[in-house]
Amino acid sequence: MGELLNINDTHYSKHNRIVIVTNSRISYLCPSMSNNQYKEIKRITTHVLQEMKQRGEKISMLTAYDYTFATILDAALIDVILVGDSASNVMAGNTTTLPITLEQMIYHTASVTRAVDRALVVADIPFGSYQGNSKEALSSSIRLMKEAAAHAVKMEGGLEIIDSVKRVLSAGVPVMGHLGLTPQSIYKFGTFEVRAKDEVEANKLLEDALLLQDAGCFAIVLEKIPATLGERVAKELKIPVIGIGAGSGVDGQVLVLHDLLGLTKEFNPRFLRRYMNLFDDVKTNIEHYIEDVKLVDFPSKKEQY
């Protein structure tokens, strides 16, 4: 965790964080529980996430599926990297997350973990690799931990998968839950609409969240639910609650990196904020490259041996 440092006459950023550069590496010093002391976080763990919730610091989480983007995310000091089964969509072009296999998730997760020094890396267990079979759930989790060096796994569902959750936790594998809109169950829902808008489903979601917490999950993702419900769950639970379309009252936020960067164009939910428009930027520069090649402007004399 690093040494406690005394900070005096400090200029606070809008995020209430202090940034220190040591040997060309940036570190955030996040508020600790003492009056004027800060603790440098050198490695994010499940314990660190719990401390962040306790002191009210929001958790940042993004997806990554390859070494290059994972390197950038870790350098930017993202707290959690999710190797999501959304790779099925953004990397493989499938319309749902269902087709991606455990072997493919191991490949993507290993690519990410090789790049990471600081962030916590959570890997999705893909559809069909844990539902209804706790032994298979354990086997899948162990493969992701041993072969891909994942730090934790994520599983979708509540009561219906609790036996698998408990079996995986019994082996010492940290588990992150996922409730609300669970993409692996899209054919059950039949729609990508907001979940838990009625009282019955909202109460079921809260019950499942408490069940996952009691089983030993270290955090829960809530996807596409009313903001008031997201805040309610975050207040009821002692473990971190990370939202994607669950409002600002939860303990952290997660987005798909390709959506945030504007590499995808057809996906435009209300909860998505695009920070760049890389699709058009990359397309424009590739067009410039093609033109330069056609006109023999590239390579120039300076770009030749």
Rg (CA), the chain: 21
The per-residue pLDDT for range 177-227, each reduced to its tens digit, is 999 999 888 777 777 788 888 999 999 999 999 999 999 999 999 999 999
Digit-coded pLDDT (tens) for 120-156: 999 999 999 999 899 999 999 999 999 999 999 999 9
Which residue carries 């999705």 as its tokens? 124
Whether 248 has a pLDDT exceeding 50, the answer reads yes
pLDDT above 70 (res 164): yes
For residue 123, which phi and psi values (nearest 5 degrees)?
Answer: -110, 135
**Mean confidence (pLDDT) of the chain:** 89
Short-list 47, 1, 8, 55, CA closest to 28: 1
What order of strands is seen across the sheet that includes strand 25-31? 4-6, 37-40, 25-31, 18-22
Q: What is the pLDDT of residues 74-117, one digit of tens each?
A: 999 999 999 999 999 999 999 999 999 999 999 999 999 999 99
Q: How far apart are the first and last CA of the chain?
A: 49
Q: What does the domain layout of the chain look like in residue ranges?
A: 1-42, 44-255
**Does residue 223 carry a catalytic annotation?**
yes
Selection from 224, 233, 244 nearest residue 181 by Cα: 224
Read off the tokens for 30. Answer: 């996040």
| Amino acid found at 260 | L
DSSP letter (8 states) at residue 151: S
Q: How far apart are CA 243 and CA 257, in angstroms?
A: 15
Give whole-number Cα distances, 291 to 103, 274, 278, 297, 304, in Å.
40, 29, 20, 8, 18
CA distances from 185 to 25, 147, 179, 208, 285 (A): 41, 27, 11, 16, 39
For 70, 169, 261, 285, the CA distances from 282, given in Å and listed in that order, are 19, 43, 11, 5
CA 285 to CA 8: how far, in whole Å? 47
Of the candidates 3, 147, 160, 223, the residue annotated as catalytic is: 223
Reply yes or no on whether the pLDDT at 35 is more than 60: no
43-77 as b/e: b if 16+ CB within 10 A? ebebebbebbbeeebebbbbbbbeeebbbebbeeb
C-alpha distances (whole Å) from 241 to each of 220, 228, 244 are: 5, 13, 10
Please tell me the pTM assigned to this model: 0.88
Q: What angle do CA 50, 51, 53 make, to 5 degrees?
A: 65
CATH architecture of 44-255: Alpha-Beta Barrel (3.20)
Which pLDDT band holds residue 23 (cuts at 50, 70, 90)? very low
Number of H helices, E strands in the chain: 11, 12
